[in-house]
Each structure stands twice: as C-alpha cells, then as structure tokens.
Structure 1
C-alpha cells in the first residue's frame, strides 16, 4: 500500500485550475457580474484571494475589547438600575446618553446638576469601569458635571477611564448647529481634565454613516475631524503629544463583516500616517465602535440580533477597543431589560465563549482583508485630502460639498435597496405579515430637532416600513389588508417559483397574497379572481406557459374587473401583454419599492 500524504495524490491547486472550474460551472455566464461585487466606493470584492504577507498593523492593546452598554432611560433612578444590571451581567463599560445627543433616538438623560448625574450613576463605581459621555450639544456642560462628580466622590482621576465624547464638529454635522467658541472650550476642557485617564475629544462617524456615507467617506470624515481637533488643541497651547492623547474615534460597525473588519483596521493605519506627518512616535489610537443605526429594522426585529452580533464581532476582530451594540428593539422604542440582556449576552458569547479577542489581529495575512484594508486606506486618505483642500471638515460641511458627496452615495444605495440588490431581511426580503409586536418600555420619545444644513439620519428599511405601517392601519380600520390575487397558470410545479416570489415581494409592501393551486382555464381563473375580492392580480407561471396563456388570462382578468394586473417575470415581448391588460412586471432587479407604492395606492381604490 502506497504511503504518502493525501494532498500529493492530487494535482496542485492553482488559480488557473480554479478559474477553469468556475468557468465550467458558470456555463457561459459573466464572471464579473456573477462573482465580483463592488463596495459603495467602487472597490472590488473578488471571489478568491491568494494569501498575503502580513502588513505591520497597529492593533488594540492585548486583551478583549470592552463591552459597553447604553444608559438612556430618561428617569435617573431607572437609568441607574439599568447600569447596575448591565455591569452585574457582564458589561464593563457604560455610555451615558444625554437627551440632547443626536444618537439619543428621542430618549436619554437630562442631568441638569451634579446631583442628577450622581443619581443616574448611583451605585456605579467609576474606577472599576470605562465611561463614555454621549451628550451632543450638551457635551461641555455634562463633562463639567462629571468632573464635579468625580471630585465630590473623591475618586482618583488617574484611575478613571473616561471618554468625554466632545465632538462639536460631529454635532454640527448631525444637527446643523456649530457651537460658538467651541475651540476655546475644547482646549479649556483638555486643561481641566489634565491628570485624568481617557480621552476628551471624539471624532464620531455616526452622523456621516446615518446620512448614507460609504466606508471611505466615513473614514475620511473621522480623520478630518480628528485632525481639526489636533490643530485646535495645538493652537490652544497644547503640545501635539498631549493633543494626540486627548483624542479618540468612533466608527460604525454594520453586518458586512468583510468591510467592517477592513474599515477598523484601516483607521489605525490612517492615524499612523497622521502621527508620522506630525513627527509623533506611534501610539495606540483609541477606537470605539457602535453598531449601525441605519441597518436596524422595525419589522422582524429579531433579525437585528443577528445583525448586531455580526457587527460586534466584526468590530472586535477589526481591533475596536470598545463595542456598543444597539438592542434589537432600538428602532421601535426604548429597549426593555430583555432586549438589553440579549445584546449584552451576545457580546459575552463572542468574547468569552468564542474567544474572538484572543488574537490581536486575526485578519493579518488574509488576502482579502489585507487587500481591502490597503485599498480603503489609500482611498480614504485621498478623500481626507479632498476635505482638507476644501478648508477642513467644518468648511466642507458649511459649503455642502461633503454632504453632496454623501448624498450621491446614499442615492445609489437607496436604489439598491429599492431594487433589492441590497436586501433587507424581514423588510424587503422574507417579510412576515403576521408577526407579533415586541415589547419596549412605555416611555414617550422626544422629537429630534435638526436645523438647516444637518445631515439626514435614515434607516435603510424606512420606505418599506412606511408601506407596512399603512397596511397595518388599513387592517385596523377595515379588518383586512390590501390583497393581491395570484393568478397562477398551470400546476404547482410550474408556477410555484414565481408565485412564491410574488407573494414575498408584495408582502414587503404589506399586500397580502391570495394563493391557489393554479388554473388551466382562463374563465375559471377569472371566476376565482372575482370570488377573492382582491383589487389586484398577478400572473404567475413559467415563460413557456406565458407564451400561450398569459394574454388570454390577462384579458379574462380584465373582463372580470381587474383594474391592475401584474406579471411575475420579465418577458422579452411585453407589448402584447400590455395591450391585454398587464400593467406592470415584477422581477428580480425591478424597482420593487416604486411598484409596491403604486400597487398600494391602486389597492386602496
């Protein structure tokens, strides 16, 4: 019996052999269209990468990332209870959310005095945790209260791990208002907090990400903001070493693990370039993460658990020092204890059971991650330089130049969402009309106020959710949702693929499908449509059946009173179908959002 390694029995694996096998499997289909994807910045995502030589990569300090929980209940006593529950349950960092923060989502605290702040942190031992303030326009006042609280409690400032989160430029981006004399106040705050651990200023990516920014734009905005703060502090009399130590950045983590990991790796490389340009010896940048608001959905919110878990893992693997994950009901209201426990335990599993933080840079040497990190770094540096040529982030925001570039990317992404090129599980894909409501706390949300020039804050699913909300309102008012009759032609084996596709597509707009086993007779089809009482009809079958039966079926439906008829598919010859009464075509890649809006309007009569 021959004794040699199994791998020696086979021919060596080469890219050429792999490509040959792929071409055979594609059967003439376009390799680029099927297997190569592109990011919002036009970066290519290849289906296969060769191993890469690890690049020297700045990394997080050894050990796991911090698990941070938002404290955002408006009642100070209940907020304190939230904090203690989270800390006892495994969190080791808190984010104190002020109601004036753009990311408060209508909730948050309003500590108007040191006693109020003390009440919100009652029982919390500050030297044992990391604390970040998320206060928006109230940042300077809240930071002053925190300093007073530390002094009142007698804590040693050098033992505290604080992030004051002061980001006047980010607040300007989110609200349209730039605080006067912010440069002086920022410099004075750095002086006031000398001797404290942690960071004073924060370059926050959330306003840009929520407006639709790409990964490159998000990195460029954060870098430009951090550099603006460096310049401000240097002008205020602080040396660059102290100014550098006063800064942190916050990036947004979403469910695209490939891009998120690369983005978090890229920010550390970009900052190293800034340090080099400033003549500073490299030092670890504090990189904070929060999971993306724009990816959250109000429909089928349990999918958000998967989204935030993937985003948290990606941020941690990418080198984040601290990760704050939004509870899965965040888009529906103020999360209750269960939602907070789920999001907390998800990170505990990632850190303690999955051991994702054991390796400092697990993406090192992986061809795909190394290639994408390098490309993001180069493109983000170029985008940062463009902002600098415009006079810096503040002037670029004021002129609308940067906002315009973000809007262009957001518009492209909106088209991708509308056509389901970027699918949203539970919203645009696999919607469930019979879903049960989930619990949130009975606390009214405040209306956010955004001034002129503010960047928009949008979740990707909002347009589909608006259609579902209108459907729910119709159900509550009449006891019945808008309906569409699936005019299935032929046996189940023939029409099932398209009838299932159509039912799910219409459900994304809150339109309930009335199914059947199919018809071979146009008159029987028309009678069933009339009996259904549906205002809409959708022909569903194979292309072969459509060639002979779609026209007479459409004519029969029209004669039976169907005012709006759709056809599931994209026939090459559509004119005859239109003349027979087909109003529109439902197919993969169509503008589903536009079709659903029209269908909902027609269903209402």
Structure 2
C-alpha cells in the first residue's frame, strides 16, 4: 500500500525523490566517458554558462507597468504619404493598435521611410488615423527633432488634447551618433537642445515618453546580449544626467525615457535579456534615490537575423522572436515582415507579420500571465547572469572618458565601444562561417530553385531629397508655430557647429557573406558547378554526398552527379570519369567512406585530374592525406571548415 505522506500528489511518494546527483549519475552512464562540459554545457556570446538542467529559481519580478496585451505595432515607412496612409489604415483595420512612424533618413526605414517636408504631407499620411485611439511612436532619426515638432504641430492643428494621446517621440541623439558617426554640435550643446525640446513639448501638454534608448544600432553591429544591456543602461544614465542638468526634476527625467530592444532567434537569451533590462533599469532608479517604476520597452524582431535567400524561413525566425518578446515582457512589439531584407514589404508580408502577433495574443494567450518565466531556473539563472555582465559593462563604459565627456558618448568618441562590438561581431561571423551557427535556407539547406517573392516597386529615398541644415537655432515653440502655418521642414533644422565625428557602427545581417557568394554565382556567365564523384554503393557515400551538396549549394555552386557508380563491389572508374566529362563541371568532389578513400581514392583522383578536373574530397583523410594530395586532391571539405572561405575558393576552381 502506498502511503500518501505529505505530498500533494500521493503517487509520487512511491518513487525516490529526484536529485541533481542522481540525474548526473544517469547522464554520466549515458555519456560513457564523454566530456560532460563539451557535450551538454553551452555558452552564450558573453561566456555565460548554459546548463542542461537547472533547479527551480527565484528572483525579483520583471513585470510591465500595465498588465495585459502588448501593443501590436506596425510600420509606417512608405515614402509616398498617400501610399503610406493606405498601408497604415490596412494595418489598423487588421488588428494593429500602434504605428511606428519611420521618416526618410531613419535607420530603421532601411533606405525608405516617409518623405514629409511639411505638416500637409504628414497629414496625408495620417489621414483617417484616429490618434486618440491608437499609440504612435517615432523611430529615431537624424532629423528627429523636426519630425517630432512636425507631429506636435499636426496634433495641435487637429485640435487634439496632447495629454490624451499616447506618443513616444523617439529622441535618441546618442543612437544617431553611434549609427551615423556624427552629431551637429558637441554633446553639451546637443543635450541642452534635447532638454529644451522636451520641456517645450511638456509645456504644451504632451506626456511622452520623449527620449528613446534604442539598442538596435549596437545589436545590428554585432553586440552580445550583455553589451546591448550595458549600452542601454549607460545611454539611459547619460540622458538622465542631461535632462536633470537642464533643470528637469529627476523623476520627470526618468519618466521621459523609454527603451527599444531587439528580440533575436535565441529564445532563452531573448527572454532573459528583456527581463534583465527591467531589473537593471530598476537598479539605476534606486541608485538615483527614486522609487523604481517599470520600464517602457518597445521590442523589434532582429534585423541581423533576416535573410534574402529563402526568405520564407524568416517567418519562423519572426515567430520565435515574437514569442520570446511576448514572454519576456514587451510593452509593444514590431515584427519585421519576412521580405524586409529584399525591399519595402507589401501588404501581404505586413499582414503576416501582424498576424504572427495576433495569433500569439488571441490563440496562444501569451498575454494572460505576467512574467511567465518567473521561477523557472533556466530563465532566472540567465537573467541574473545577464544582469551581472550587463552591469559590469555599464561600469566599464562609465569609466571611459574622451575629451572630458564621460559615459557612452565618451566611449563612442574613444572608439572603445566600436572595438568591443567588433570583437563580438568577429566571433559571431566565425560561428556563421563555420556553420556552428547555421542559417537555415542560406548556409544550411539552400534552395537554388527558390521561388520569387514580391516587394513594393518603390525606389529607395535619395539623401539629396531630404532637407539639409538650417540657418539658425530657433526656439522649439516657434518652430511648431511656423510648421502649423505651412512652413517646411527647413524651419526646424539646425546649422552644424563644431560637429562631432566618430567611427560609425555598421548595420549587418549575419547571412550577408553567404548571400554575396550566391549573388556572385548567379552573376557569372554560366553557373559554377561541381561534380559529386561518388565511390562505392549508395549506403557508403550518401552522407558525405549530401553534406557536399549542401555546402556547395550554399555558395550557389550547382552540385551535379551524386548517383552510384558501384560495380562488383568497387567503383566503375570509366563510368565515373565519363559522367564527369558529360557534366561540364571543372570541379569534382570525391564522396565516399574512409575505406573507399583508402582503397580507391588515389586512383579516382588521378583519373579525374587527367580528365581536366580540379579534385576535392569530402571528409578528413587522416593518414591518407599525403597519398591523396599526391594523386591530385587539392582541398578537403569537412564539418567545421570555414565555409565562406572554402566556397570562395570553390567558385574560383569551378570557374577556372
């Protein structure tokens, strides 16, 4: 008879209580002497241990200011105001309740963006949009102050009560500096202008937030999770200091700041990063003597994760990132359409991006639990580790000084941030190149016959179409009045004065090296090809032939052959060489078992070489390498090789 004991689930008392020691003993038995650390322990880009098993955890709650649904944000980024308006209305009618307004010149517009030189153009773009029923955010941009003042002028012209609107104005001069490499004036002057503009908008009834700490420039340049968090906190502290120094009470300065973070395809690290961001911001507030208020966090799915090749896979990437953002506690979320890397997305791609969120909200009900990761050992452990690493990076940034400018601005000016991110970028690029970080549809499982997808037939906006520098620094209230009366964008532009220049951060996607190889292959007069010279029966060569085909096609090299030439327990040499000649390829790759390489590899290589082939081999030849090299094998492909470098050489060999 089983005793109920004290358990809420009496039947569990019939089994021994599980423990870490019992689990480890069972694992060691299965590993049979293999290294536990190498087999089961991972590490993040910051070196954080990712354990295979965690005990139940605990930690401070990372909750939003408002429980319930996150806001579904859609992008308004078409250059033509009328077309932008049609797309925006379709988004709102389809379930979005927030618009991210990306003016031309905004980095997030990716070369497109709304072209609005006056309030009339902005009015056309927002015609029929009920601003008092939705939320609106402005994407940070080099001419962000003018964009914000133009919007303020439109709102006053419409007669809205500013206090009743939910608008994030998107001022982020530090993010602009990091991305573009320049500021129109020294930081002290830029900070003064920022505070004056915020004060003016507050005096007219707007409640903000006004300043956005945007981490996308760092993420797109290759920053790790902890680097992104450290730069986020460092930037927020600089803004707090700037606003307080210009007379804004610290509490009001805190309330003026919002955050934009990135949701990537690593579910665990994205959830932990968003939770850590809230905890770090609370710690900063407490250090300032404030009662901590939850951060306002907008999240966008990762640009650097998107691919131009087999873009349908981006739907999966966007879904994982959106799920992670929802569980991690985003207040609002933008899912980048799956065709965003190819051009300006059409209505269909935008609908799918929007519906990705709506399915997670309405069918998966992700919004019904506040901080759903709380108590899970893995998430609590990763969250705390990211807090520690992010805080350390923040302290290092605070110690950086250049020309008496402290914090993030000084660290950017000295180049230390760029150097740190470059090291992370190099590490990530190596993982992609060696396919330890595979990109489905691009570096793994490429499809050389993929179908075409549509984007809008829109030409990117030329920089010359954007208004240039103004002639005077005018009071923001005066600029709003001039814009409301029909003035142009030039009314609010500021002349450069002692401009600041630094090394800008690049904006990169991880798939670009492989995409460049595919583009080069497609631009060739005749597509480069490789002949898969298979040795022995199908069962012996299938694995390596499949590996070789997958690798070569990732570089746009058509893999011909691959059929069996087995005859009487060996390989029919004449048939294999004849098939090579018929294929028209100049590069041949031997594919077979180690036994076949030892017995037939040298003879096959010599025969193919006499037939005019450059001969490669799939696998590591070990003790047979010298003999194979002597027979004519010039290169070896294997798991873990630098695929980008290998495919570059393969293209040259296939085209020689």
* Structure 2 residue matching 1:514: 3-state secondary structure: strand
Q: 2:382 aligns with which of 360, 364, 372?
A: 372
Matched, 1:491 2:499: no
Other-structure match for 2:201: 193
* Structure 2 residue matching 1:554: 3-state secondary structure: helix
In structure 2, what is the Cα distance between the partners aligned to 1:446 and 1:35? 49
Other-structure match for 1:526: 577
How far the C-alpha of 1:135 sits from its partner, in A, is: 4.2
Matched, 1:119 2:124: yes
In structure 2, what is the Cα distance between the partners aligned to 1:470 and 1:57? 47
Other-structure match for 1:294: 304
Other-structure match for 1:515: 561
> Per chain length, whose mean CA-contact separation is higher, i.e. which structure has more relative contact order (CA < 8 Å, sep 6+)?
2
Q: Deviations over 1:499-529 (max 9, x none)?
A: 0111011110000111232231333322221
* TM-aligned CA distance change 1:557 to 1:57, over 3 Å: same
Matched, 1:257 2:267: yes
How far the C-alpha of 1:26 sits from its partner, in A, is: 2.6
In structure 2, what is the Cα distance between the partners aligned to 1:102 and 1:435? 29
In structure 1, what is the Cα distance between the partners aligned to 2:285 and 2:536? 69
* Structure 2 residue matching 1:193: 3-state secondary structure: helix
Other-structure match for 1:324: 334
Answer whether contact 1:102 1:448 (CA < 8 A) is retained. Answer: no
Answer whether contact 1:100 1:135 (CA < 8 A) is retained. Answer: no
Q: 2:590 aligns with which of 539, 542, 546?
A: 539
Q: 1:384 aligns with which of 394, 402, 425?
A: 394
Matched, 1:277 2:281: no
Answer whether contact 1:255 1:310 (CA < 8 A) is retained. Answer: yes
Answer whether contact 1:135 1:142 (CA < 8 A) is retained. Answer: no
* TM-aligned CA distance change 1:396 to 1:511, over 3 Å: same
In structure 2, what is the Cα distance between the partners aligned to 1:254 and 1:266? 15
How far the C-alpha of 1:18 sits from its partner, in A, is: 2.2
In structure 2, what is the Cα distance between the partners aligned to 1:284 and 1:305? 31
* TM-aligned CA distance change 1:353 to 1:168, over 3 Å: same
Other-structure match for 2:133: 128
Matched, 1:64 2:34: no
In structure 2, what is the Cα distance between the partners aligned to 1:188 and 1:549? 79
Q: Deviations over 1:247-278 (max 9, x none)?
A: 00111111111000000000111111110111
* TM-score of the pair, normalised by structure 1: 0.96
How far the C-alpha of 1:65 sits from its partner, in A, is: 0.7
Q: Deviations over 1:463-522 (max 9, x none)?
A: 100111112223xx44xx211111111111111011011101111000011123223133
* Structure 1 residue matching 2:439: 3-state secondary structure: coil
1:402-421 → structure 2 map (5 Å cutoff): 402-421=417-436
1:58-97 → structure 2 map (5 Å cutoff): 58-97=63-102
Q: 2:505 aligns with which of 419, 444, 455?
A: 455
Q: Deviations over 1:117-175 (max 9, x none)?
A: 11111110111111011141110001111111111111111111110111000000000
Answer whether contact 1:60 1:320 (CA < 8 A) is retained. Answer: no
Matched, 1:102 2:107: yes
* TM-score of the pair, normalised by structure 2: 0.89
Answer whether contact 2:65 2:293 (CA < 8 A) is retained. Answer: no
Answer whether contact 2:263 2:324 (CA < 8 A) is retained. Answer: yes
Answer whether contact 1:539 1:566 (CA < 8 A) is retained. Answer: yes
Q: 1:25 aligns with which of 18, 24, 30?
A: 30
Answer whether contact 2:528 2:651 (CA < 8 A) is retained. Answer: yes
1:428-443 → structure 2 map (5 Å cutoff): 428-443=443-458
In structure 1, what is the Cα distance between the partners aligned to 2:272 and 2:562? 48
Greater Cα radius of gyration, structure 1 or 2: 2
Q: 2:528 aligns with which of 478, 482, 495?
A: 482
In structure 1, what is the Cα distance between the partners aligned to 2:65 and 2:317? 23
* Structure 1 residue matching 2:459: 3-state secondary structure: coil
Q: Deviations over 1:370-389 (max 9, x none)?
A: 00000000110010010010
The CA RMSD measured in Å over matched residues stands at 1.7
In structure 2, what is the Cα distance between the partners aligned to 1:54 and 1:273? 14
In structure 2, what is the Cα distance between the partners aligned to 1:362 and 1:58? 10
Unaligned runs of 5+ in 2: 5-9, 401-405, 465-499, 566-570
* Structure 2 residue matching 1:199: 3-state secondary structure: coil
Matched, 1:505 2:551: yes
Answer whether contact 1:428 1:508 (CA < 8 A) is retained. Answer: yes
* Structure 1 residue matching 2:366: 3-state secondary structure: coil
Q: 1:444 aligns with which of 448, 459, 462?
A: 459
Q: 1:43 aligns with which of 44, 48, 68?
A: 48
Other-structure match for 2:408: 393
Answer whether contact 1:363 1:369 (CA < 8 A) is retained. Answer: yes
Answer whether contact 1:58 1:269 (CA < 8 A) is retained. Answer: no
Answer whether contact 2:3 2:13 (CA < 8 A) is retained. Answer: no
1:532-571 → structure 2 map (5 Å cutoff): 532-562=583-613, 564-571=614-621
How far the C-alpha of 1:458 sits from its partner, in A, is: 0.5
